Copies of this chain bind each other. A is one copy, B any other.
Amino acid sequence: MAALESTVDMYDLRMSEGVRPLYEKVKAFIADEVAPMSEEFFRLGENRTDRWSYAPGQLELLEAVKDKAKENGLWNFFLPDAETGEGLSNLDYAYIAIELGKNPLASESMNCAAPDTGNMEVLERVGTEAQKREWLDPLLRGEIRSAYAMTEPDVASSDAKNVACQAVRDGDEWVINGEKYYISGAGDPRCKIMITMVQTSPDGPPHQRQSQILVPIDAPGVEILGPMHVFGKDDAPHGHMHIKFTDVRVPYENVLLGEGRGFEISQVRLGPGRIHHCMRSIGQAEKALELMVSRGMSRDAFGKPLAKLGGNTEMIAKARIEIESMRRMVLTAAKAMDTLGNAEARVWVSAVKAMVPIRVCEIIDQAIQMHGATGVSQWTPLADMYASQRTLRLADGPDEVHWMVVGRKEVGDGEDKAKEYDPKVAFLTNTSAVKDGAFSGPA
């Protein structure tokens, strides 16, 4: 067949029978516990005096729900096939993550929020016992939060070889100097640790120049310059921080997996992370379509509900078709990770990363249009949702990089055929190639 698949099983996209009760519990938990807590949580947050801390009572509310989640076994199930958590397959988790995508606090309530998920996954796979004890355990318990410091302001991050923040070994320590930005979650007072991508061997082979090092956020020399904005928002106190490292010293053994293996770790982390984002994006698209239809049916102009005016019904139909297409593609990519492994599944992951956020942006944009000015206001979540999905087109590799991954695979697959390609010979007899083919009037 074609470039992007290989096994029969990849067409079995069903949730496991055994996971269905969990899935139903998650949905109920979001509706019954997370949703009412969220309302209260954000209401309290509006009154806080310091944007970069939580208001009194906010965290208590959140922790209470987290405790309840833990008690009910709704905890840490993002980690595929791991001993910790539910050991969900990527496919099963996909169904759940789509639901998590519909409420802003659902992921954290069940300890499945980025970037902790990726950090925990990396620590669980490649951490030493000591590293796990110090950082993974409190993360798994939801006691601390973490950040992942990769993107830099001065280089094109789409080409990972460009990483410029330097770590130089000095005896038993690393000395780190450089700048990172858009370090999400580093604004949260609960954030204690950053996995930091650094250049350790400037002259090594391109893919062995980088290492990933654990850097406590309170290490001397770590300076938070300020928050980066996303369409004017700072997302405080979570934040997307701009951070400067000046002679930051951490123990040599804080390096993960080994010197020069930073790239390798990225591969472990980025596959699932990208898929998780895309899963939640489907949830966002569902929410946007729901708002689009609700608004369209509840407001009239020129004697009709908006949803039935002009091209609006067609627009709604196209959104539904897109969502169902994306859902199946994301499920397939999750299945690919389950059955082919992260490395082989890479093209699938790029396919959905390039496909999903750009289309979800369009659907949210159409929902905005259906709402009129209210669509860009604080009365609907649509503007925030748009900003978030738009930014996702830049995070974890911009669309362009992912198209390149998919395109290169396809072109590679075609190279052999190209050698024997001669249009004049090959298709001479094909002149009527579709003679009785697709068009024959009604079948």
Contacts and interface: CB of A to CB of B under 8 A. Distances in A.
B377 A411 contact: no
Given A183-B441, A355-B321, A430-B42, A8 B4 contact: no
Contacts of A157: 372-373
Interface stretch (A131-139, A147-155, A214-222, A338-346): A147-155
Interface string A87-126: 0000000000000010111011000011101100000000
B316 A428 contact: no
Contacts of A310: 310-311, 313-314, 400, 403-404
> Do most interface residues of chain A lie in helix, strand or loop, or is the interface mixed?
helix
Interface string A394-433: 1110111011111110110111011101011001111111
Interface stretch (A163-171, A254-262, A301-309): A301-309
Contacts of A427: 379-381
A3 interface: yes
B381 A431 contact: yes
A317 interface: yes
Nearest to A425: B379
Given A104-B430, A384-B431, A411 B240 contact: no
Tally of this chain's copies: 4
Contact of A311 (B311, B331, B406, B435): B311
Given A108-B436, A156-B299, A379 B423 contact: yes
A280 B293 CA distance: 33
Nearest to A286: B2
Contact of A394 (B309, B373, B440): B373
Interface residues on A, range: 35 or more
B437 A104 contact: yes
A48 interface: no
Interface stretch (A64-72, A227-235, A245-253): A227-235
Interface string A35-52: 000111011010000000
Nearest to A240: B441
A158 interface: yes
B156 A438 contact: no
Given A302-B159, A379-B427, A435-B104, A391 B411 contact: no
Contact of A153 (B3, B424, B429): B424
A127 interface: no
B232 A383 contact: yes
A282 B419 CA distance: 25
A388 interface: yes
A128 B38 CA distance: 54
A239 B279 CA distance: 36
B14 A417 contact: no
B293 A434 contact: no
B377 A228 contact: yes
Contacts of A118: 442-443
B104 A442 contact: no
A327 to B, nearest CB: 9
12 contacts: A11-B15, A12-B13, A118-B442, A157-B372, A228-B377, A273-B443, A284-B434, A294-B421, A310-B310, A384-B434, A388-B438, A395-B440
Given A376-B390, A392-B438, 18 more contacts: A11-B12, A13-B13, A104-B432, A158-B301, A181-B373, A181-B377, A228-B377, A229-B383, A270-B442, A295-B418, A295-B423, A314-B407, A317-B351, A365-B390, A371-B423, A374-B423, A388-B434, A396-B442
Closest 4 CB pairs of A and B: A273-B443, A311-B311, A381-B433, A293-B414
